[in-house]
Structure 1
Amino acid sequence: MGYLGLIAKTNKLNHNFQKSRNEILNIRERRFRALLKYAYYNSEFYHEYYDSYGIRDRDIEEVQINKLPCIDKKLFIENFNRIVTDKRLSLECIERFLMREKGRDKKYLGEYTIVHSSGSTGKPTCFIYDRSSWETILASGFRACKGEVRLKEAISKGLRGFRVLYIAATEGRFGGAMAAHSGIKGFGFHPLLLNINLPLEIWIDKINDFNPDVIIGYPSAVKILCDLISENKIKINAFRIITGGEPLIAEQRKYFQSVLHTDIFNIYGASESIILGLERDAYQGFYIFDDINYLEIDEESTFITPLYNYSQPLIRYKLTDKLMSTERMENETLPFSKIREVMGRNEEIMWFLNDNGEKDFLHPLIINTLEAEGIIKYQFVQRSNKCFEIRVESRKNTDSDTIEIKLRKQMDNILKEKNLTCLNYQIKQVDTIPINASTGKSKIVIKEY
């Protein structure tokens, strides 16, 4: 499917914005039932897993979703090769492909888009999307972000040279970067993917030269951009601002709107399903797109079932995000479920003085790309504006000296790129890095000064 196919799929999804709540619930149920049936008969794992819980062929048509056993990250990784429905797919081959192909454009086996999680709860996890499911993600993202602009008008603007700036972790295969890169190009727009790890003086030159119409980025990145605009270092006139990847707090939203003079479109997504929901000022919460995802929320857990991914079905996959649900009001803008807040994603930027004595930063998702064989997880501890510590939890019988050598090589490259070679840091082996009980995640960055 090319440009016209993406537009057709976007148009079809866009019609769901005008449907009633009951119509959306019926769509969700039909798509869930079709996915469940397909997974049961085509995935070796699900057939055996459900059979072990006494769920048979005759139950698939009527079993309630909350009566199905869930899966979590550990079970998913252990059974990766048995969950997928295309037997050409294997985790070992995919990992070799990712080691060999560092760019984003090349698809696995010529048809699969591979994304990975940030690894904030341990080793990054791979998720695969075939052509159809990836196009659903791109179309749903465009649908969410076009706002009140009519589809024909948005397409017309794109054909006239729409410029879209994306500021985030652009290296590797994070879901947001992958979707932004292929989505912007797929709809005919002109992209500039700006690595958040670049020095601020490069930000200033590139953004002023590009003069974007649309800006997509982490709230922390948009905050820095707004500061630069307020200091008259950047002059732009963007009409759409899209945030995601981190919580957007009310004070940030007000600040962005005061500087950029436009509404903020805040996307909630995850590697398991890139586009989950949308928050805007007038919505008073997030709308969760029930036509492409089945999200179950209770006080303790959140489970996701993407309704479009048949190659790697995720049925009742347990997310580590904690969501606060809220009741729908009588006259809601959109016919979807609502949540009030996403918890557990706050990470602090580390600000330092660079080689020129000027302020610059390291973003958590950039430093979270460090890797070495044997590492379970790591954590950054900022001691001052001149030094930090990397705490490393590794598997038993792992050579700590080898880990340190590999981490130092990667960290030194990051610091060199950011003009932060003046910083002092040490690497410290620890027995364990604790998980926050309320969020289910370990903090990537803590500050002790």
Structure 2
Amino acid sequence: MKLKKYILETIKYALRSYPIIYPYIKDVENLYAMDAETLRKRNEEKFIMLFQRAYDKSPFYHKLYTEAGIKKEDIKTLDDINKLPIITKDMIKQHADEMLTVPKWKVIAANTSGTTGTPLKVYVSWRTIWFDQAYLYYSRKLNGFKYGQRLISLRGHLDKNITKIRVHLNNTLYLSSYNINKDTIEYYYNQIIKFKPQAIEGYPSSLYSLALFLKDSNLRVNIPVAFSSSETLLDYQRTLIEKQLGTEIFDNYGMTEKTIFLQESRNHNGYYELPGYSINEYVEDGEICTSLINTAFPIIRYKSNDVVELMETTEDNPQIIVKQVTGRKDDYIVCKDGCHIQQLSFLLKGGIIMRHNTNMHTCWRNP
């Protein structure tokens, strides 16, 4: 089982490694260097091409737009985007295969986490995967981490049966977030000290759990940078994580659907949109997003239930800045051995609490 996981993670990294994503990294660098007007013009061209491709090659969009009375010639500029109907998660669930603009064998199925509702199956092409990875590479590089440096991952790659795996090709030590408790924390501490990582990544709840047990055991480590995602990073979590891990944490917000990618700014005063990744329309009860990197499975004007709080823009800083993402708080349960079971939305939203698991109780620990 452990060998199989090692091989799987090695292959996954090899298919997303620097030599493969290098051309996409150069594209991302160019996007970061563009001024606002040049970037808007580029995004407009990409949007028009995406719309026309979806209209011609996707049975779902062709039907959706023709029934709405929309012709190809009606969409000429980016300002015309609001003429298009909004699509929802339910629509994707029902019509995913019809949304494709390429044969199904050319894409890979991916499942969302479902932190704000039911998990969803979407499709991505390899080009989309490589572009997304290039954005991640470049944004992390800006925050002091380069691929190939030592990284600890607490992102749920390992279950409770495997505590650690070191993958040599990507220089990453994967640690199980499900086994962190008062009896194992010294083992985790020793693994971190021995590995000497440059960075650590994980769900906020996983990083907080690690920091909490380190604090209880009067232990601290020193990891220069931390990256969190997939859940809302709360202020009390940030404070303890940075103190106990001796780190500076940068949060990001993205989706498996590849419809939005927000990165926390270097001065931690909010989140900025990764240039050229998507077109985002912020509304009172969420956001409406259009992916510019997934042409094989177009997602155009997709309504998410995640809620964001915007900061006011100024002439000195015209870029749209998101102050906070508030729709991704997830639940966890504390087991009798002290382990925190995270990412429980798929259980709690379905009304299931695994009542017959004798190792679990509903003791909630206040921050």
Q: TM-score range by the shorter chain?
A: 0.7 to 0.9
- 1:219 paired to 2:191: no
Pair 340,121 (structure 1): closer, same or farther in 2 beyond 3 Å? closer
In structure 1, the residue matched to 2:8 is none
Deviation at 1:245, TM superposition (A): 1.3
In structure 1, the residue matched to 2:80 is 64
**Secondary structure of 1:139's match?**
helix
Deviation at 1:30, TM superposition (A): 1.7
**Secondary structure of 1:295's match?**
strand
**Equivalent residue for 1:197, pick from 178, 200, 207:** 178
5 Å matches for 1:264-275?
A: 264-273=249-258
Partner letter of residue 130 of structure 2?
Answer: E
Aligned equivalents of 1:124 and 1:240: distance in 2? Answer: 30
Aligned equivalents of 2:198 and 2:48: distance in 1? Answer: 41
**Equivalent residue for 1:361, pick from 340, 345, 351:** 340
The answer to whether the Cα contact below 8 Å between 1:24 and 1:290 also exists between their aligned partners in 2 is yes
Structure 1 unpaired stretches of 5+: 90-108, 173-180, 371-375, 381-389, 391-406, 413-420, 426-444
**Equivalent residue for 1:4, pick from 19, 24, 37:** 19
In structure 1, the residue matched to 2:89 is 73
**Equivalent residue for 2:39, pick from 5, 24, 49:** 24
**Secondary structure of 1:154's match?**
coil
- TM-score, normalised to structure 2's length? 0.81
- TM-score, normalised to structure 1's length? 0.67
Deviation at 1:368, TM superposition (A): 4.7
5 Å matches for 1:286-435?
A: 286-332=271-317, 336-354=319-337, 359-363=338-342, 365=343, 367-368=344-345, 377-379=349-351, 390=353, 412=357, 421-423=358-360
Deviation at 1:130, TM superposition (A): 0.7
Pair 219,123 (structure 1): closer, same or farther in 2 beyond 3 Å? closer
Aligned equivalents of 1:148 and 1:369: distance in 2? Answer: 32
**Equivalent residue for 2:146, pick from 140, 146, 154:** 154
Pair 233,254 (structure 1): closer, same or farther in 2 beyond 3 Å? closer
Query: How far does the alpha carbon of each residue in 1:320-345 deviate from its partner, in whole angstroms, 9 at most, with x for none?
Result: 1011222333334xx84321111121
- 1:169 paired to 2:156: yes
The answer to whether the Cα contact below 8 Å between 1:204 and 1:233 also exists between their aligned partners in 2 is no
Pair 169,261 (structure 1): closer, same or farther in 2 beyond 3 Å? closer
Deviation at 1:291, TM superposition (A): 0.8
Query: How far does the alpha carbon of each residue in 1:401-433 deviate from its partner, in whole angstroms, 9 at most, with x for none?
Result: xxxxxx67xx75xxxxxxxx44469xxxxxxxx
**Secondary structure of 1:115's match?**
strand
Aligned equivalents of 1:120 and 1:9: distance in 2? Answer: 29
Aligned equivalents of 1:283 and 1:300: distance in 2? Answer: 24
Partner letter of residue 75 of structure 1?
Answer: M
Deviation at 1:72, TM superposition (A): 0.3
How many pairs align? 340
Aligned equivalents of 1:281 and 1:134: distance in 2? Answer: 25
In structure 2, the residue matched to 1:257 is 242
Query: How far does the alpha carbon of each residue in 1:115-145 deviate from its partner, in whole angstroms, 9 at most, with x for none?
Result: 2112345442112211111001101011111
Pair 233,115 (structure 1): closer, same or farther in 2 beyond 3 Å? farther
Query: How far does the alpha carbon of each residue in 1:181-216 deviate from its partner, in whole angstroms, 9 at most, with x for none?
Result: 9xx989x63122323222431644544443322100
Aligned equivalents of 2:259 and 2:290: distance in 1? Answer: 12
Pair 286,122 (structure 1): closer, same or farther in 2 beyond 3 Å? closer
Aligned equivalents of 2:245 and 2:218: distance in 1? Answer: 14
Aligned equivalents of 1:30 and 1:79: distance in 2? Answer: 26
Query: How far does the alpha carbon of each residue in 1:214-265 deviate from its partner, in whole angstroms, 9 at most, with x for none?
Result: 1001112222222344456766432221011111233333333333444321
**Secondary structure of 1:66's match?**
helix
Query: How far does the alpha carbon of each residue in 1:249-303 deviate from its partner, in whole angstroms, 9 at most, with x for none?
Result: 3333333333344432111112212761111461411101241111111113411
Partner letter of residue 340 of structure 2?
Answer: F
Q: Percent identity?
A: 24
Pair 119,351 (structure 1): closer, same or farther in 2 beyond 3 Å? same
In structure 1, the residue matched to 2:129 is 134
The answer to whether the Cα contact below 8 Å between 1:113 and 1:134 also exists between their aligned partners in 2 is no
Deviation at 1:318, TM superposition (A): 0.8
Pair 140,318 (structure 1): closer, same or farther in 2 beyond 3 Å? same
